[in-house]
Amino acid sequence: MNKKREGKRILSANALSQAIFLRFFVAVVLFTIALIAGFFIAANTLSMFRWHGDELIYPILHIISNNVRVFLTFCWLIGFIIIFLIFWRKTLGYVDTIAKASNLLVESKEDPIRLPAELKQVEDRMNQAKQEAIRNARIAKEAEQRKNDLIVYLAHDLKTPLTSVIGYLTLLRDEQEISDDLRRKYLSISLEKAERLEDLINEFFEITRFNLSQLNLELSRVNLTRMLQQIAFEFKPLLAEKNLQCELQVDSDIEIKCDANKMERVFDNLIRNAINYSFKNTAIEVSAARQQDGIILRFTNHGNTIPQEKLGRIFEQFYRLDTSRATKTGGAGLGLAIAKQLVELHNGTITVSSENEKSEFTVYLPELS
C-alpha cells in the first residue's frame, strides 16, 4: 500500500514536471516561429521602400542585412533567456505555493487546500493526504479513548470478583461449624470468581503486550494442515463448554512459508472469537485450500448476525462486539485487531461477512519468497 502511494506521488510530480517542460518547449517553438516570421515580414515590408543611404536606421538595417544569421541567433538567444527566466520564476512560485500549502497538511481543520489550476493534480494528492491524516488521527484518538475506557472498566471490574473471593474465604475461615455442602458451595463460588479475576488480569496483559510488541517475521516452512488440527484439538475443553463441534475441511499436507508463532496466534484468535459468539450445540467450520498464488482459509460460526455498521469496525483496536462488561465475550477487543495486523504483515488479507445468523472470516495468505 505504501509503495502504491509513493508511486502515485512520483507520477504526480513527473506529470507536473512534464507539463512545465512541455509549456516551456511550446513557448520556445512559438517564439522561434514568431521571430522568423516577423523577420521576413519586416524584411519584405522594408524592401518596399526606396532607401538613399542617408536615413538614420539605414546603417543598422545594412548591418542586419549582411549578418542575418548572427542577428537571428542573437535575438533567439535573448528571447530564450527571457522565456527561461519567466518559467524559472513561475516554477519557483509553484515551489513556494506548495511549501506554504504543505503547512496546511498538519492542521486539524478539514478545509480543503487550494492551489492554482496548473497544480490541480498536486492539490488533489495533498487533499487526499490531509483527509487520510485527519481520518487516521481520529481513528487513533478513538482507539486510545476505547483503551482508556476499557482500562477503567477493567480496574472497576477487578474489585467485584476480588471482594467476593475475600468474602467467601473469610467465611470459610471464621465459620468453624459449616456443613460440607455449604463449604463446597463457597469454594465453588470462590473458584469461579478467581477464574473471572484471572480473565480480567489476562486482558490487562493483552493490552500491554499489544502496545509493546515488535512485529518482526521469522519465516519457516510450516505444515498448515497439522497446525490447524493441533489448534482445534487444544480448543476441545472450551468447545465442550458450549457443546460445539470444530469441523476441519483442510487439504492434506498444505505447506506454507510463514511465521509459525504469529500465524498460530491468528488462528487461535479467530477460533476463540468463533467460540465466544457461537450458539450452543452448533458447529464451527474451518476450511483451508491451496490456490494458484496462495492459501484461502475460512472460519465460519453460527451465532447472532453481526450488524453491518459493526462489520466495518470489527478489526479496530479495543473494539468489542459485545459492549457489556458483564459477559466474558470480547475480551480486550484486541484479538481481531491483532489477527488483521499479523495477516497483513504476511502480505495477506482478512475480511468478514455475516448474514442469516452465520459469520465467516476469510483469510488469504500469499506465497512468500
Query: How is the chain split into domains, by residue range?
Result: 2-106, 143-212, 220-366
HSE-CB at 18 with a 13 A cutoff on CA atoms is: 7
C-alpha 105/C-alpha 141 separation (Å) is: 18
Highest mean pLDDT: which of 117-121, 170-174, 289-293? 289-293
Q: Single out the residue of 198, 249, 194, 191 nearest to residue 224, CA to CA.
A: 249
Distance of alpha carbon 366 from the chain centroid: 18
CA–CA dist 293, 337 (Å, integer): 25
Contact 58, 51 (CB under 8 A): yes
Is residue 214's pLDDT more than 60?
no
Q: Is the pLDDT of residue 1 over 50?
A: no
Q: Report DSSP state, residue 331.
A: T
Q: Give the pLDDT of residue 325.
A: 45
**What is the structure's pLDDT at 32?**
92
The verdict on domain 143-212 having CATH code 1.10.287.130 is yes
| The pLDDT of residue 314 | 83
Sign of CA dihedral 233, 235, 239, 240: positive
Q: How far is residue 308 from each of residues 212, 312, 313, measured CA to CA in Å? A: 32, 7, 9
Q: Which range (46-60, 77-91, 170-184, 240-254) has the least confidence?
A: 46-60
Secondary structure of 263-312 in HEC code, one letter for each residue: HHHHHHHHHHHHHHCCCCCCEEEEEEEEECCEEEEEEEEECCCCCHHHHC
355 pLDDT band (50/70/90 cuts)? very high
| Percentage with pLDDT > 70 across the chain | 80
Residue 298, pLDDT > 70, answer yes
* Residue carrying C-alpha cell 521571430: 35
pLDDT for residue 10: 43
Bridge-based pairing of strands 255-258 and 283-291 is unpaired
- Give how far Cα 323 sits from Cα of 90, 125, 174, 188, 210, Å: 58, 38, 39, 27, 20
Output 252 or 6, whichever has higher pLDDT: 252
> In this predicted model, which residue has the larger pLDDT, 75 or 159?
75
| Per-residue pLDDT reduced to its tens digit, 98-147 | 777 777 776 667 777 777 776 777 777 778 888 888 888 887 787 777 66
**For residue 2, is pLDDT > 50?**
no
What 3-state class would DSSP assign to 349?
Answer: strand
Task: Give the number of other CB atoms < 10 A from CB of residue 322.
Answer: 15
Looking at the chain, how many residues does it have?
369
38-42, 244-248, 323-327: range with highest mean pLDDT: 244-248
Residues 158, 193: Cα–Cα separation, whole Å: 10
Using CA atoms, how far residue 285 sits from 110, 232, 271, 290, in Å, is 45, 10, 9, 17
Which range of 144-158, 182-196, 248-262 scores highest in mean pLDDT? It is 248-262
Residues whose CB is less than 8 angstroms from the CB of residue 315 and which lie 6 or more positions away in sequence, other chains included: 336, 337, 339, 340, 350, 352
- Express as a percent the part of the chain with pLDDT over 90: 27
Q: Is the pLDDT of residue 268 over 70?
A: yes
The dihedral formed by the CA atoms of 181, 187, 189 and 191, expressed in degrees to the nearest 10:
-150
Answer left, alpha or beta for residue 138, where phi above 0 means left and psi between -120 and 50 means alpha.
alpha
Please say whether the structural domain 220-366 has been given the CATH code 3.30.565.10: yes
Contact (CB, 8 A) for 229 and 248? yes
Per the model's pLDDT, the better-predicted residue between 326 and 15 turns out to be 15
Phi, psi of 350 (to 5 degrees): -140, 130
Distances (CA, A) of 171 to 165, 190, 198: 10, 11, 22
- Pairwise CA distance, residues 275 & 267, whole Å: 12
> How far apart are alpha carbons 41 and 30 in whole angstroms?
16
Instruction: Over range 280-287, report the average pLDDT.
Output: 95
**Mean per-residue pLDDT over the chain, rounded:** 80
What's the whole-model pTM score? 0.51
Q: Is the pLDDT of residue 299 over 90?
A: yes
pLDDT at 322 over 50: yes
Nearest to 250 by CA among 270, 230, 274, 220: 230
Res. 206: pLDDT tops 80: no
Whether 327 shows a pLDDT value over 70: the answer reads no
Question: Could you tell me the end-to-end alpha-carbon distance of the chain, in angstroms, rounded to an integer?
Answer: 19
Please check the confidence at residue 321 and state whether its pLDDT lies above 70. no
Taking phi over 0 as left and psi of -120 to 50 as alpha, with beta for the rest, 279 belongs to beta
Torsion of CA 47, 50, 51, 55, to 10 degrees: -110
Max CA separation in the chain (angstroms) = 144
